[in-house]
Amino acid sequence: MYCICCKGFKVGPMSFAPKDPLSKLSEEELLWTEVDVDRGGYKYTSTIDNEMIDGGIIQIITAGYGSNHDGDKFIIAICDDCIQSNLDDGTLLLFKSGSYITPEEDLEKSKKIYKRRKRLDNLISEE
């Protein structure tokens, strides 16, 4: 899938084991499909939101009330390189760290970068 930032075709679902029911689906089918899956007694409904992704993130996002797209759902992808560069400049914000090494430090760093960028933007935009 194409990255929403760099427009590169860098992100996609990971390949599945040959016996996995999802292995028969193409990448395009995986993006829009909801399939009931049983993986050795673990049953769930598979969507692109809960499958393993190679090279970045693919998620279904929902436009909230007030948007021109209120209620619409979109599939977006962002590659690992763009995730990192957008985290570094405060464009992308970390909500919760999945890292077990320094989760609080990562979250606080993201908040600090965002606040700094916002203050700098406010200073520059004031006339």
Domain containing residue 27? 1-89
Q: Are 117 and 89 in contact (CB under 8 A)?
A: yes
Q: What's the domain count of the chain?
A: 2
71 and 15, same domain (yes or no): yes
State what percent of residues in the chain have pLDDT above 90: 52
42 and 70, same domain (yes or no): yes
- Residues 70-96 have pLDDT tens digits of 999 999 999 999 999 999 999 999 988
**Confidence (pLDDT) at 111:** 92
45 and 65, same domain (yes or no): yes
Encoded tokens for 112? 């600090």
Q: Is the pLDDT of residue 127 over 60?
A: no
**Confidence (pLDDT) at 102:** 63
Q: Are 5 and 78 in contact (CB under 8 A)?
A: yes
**Confidence (pLDDT) at 73:** 95
Q: What is the mean pLDDT of residues 11-37?
A: 82
Burial class (CB in 10 A: 0-12, 13-18, 19+), 81: middle
Q: Is the pLDDT of residue 8 over 60?
A: yes
Confidence band for 58, pLDDT divided at 50, 70 and 90: very high
53 and 111, same domain (yes or no): no
Q: What is the mean pLDDT of residues 29-40?
A: 86
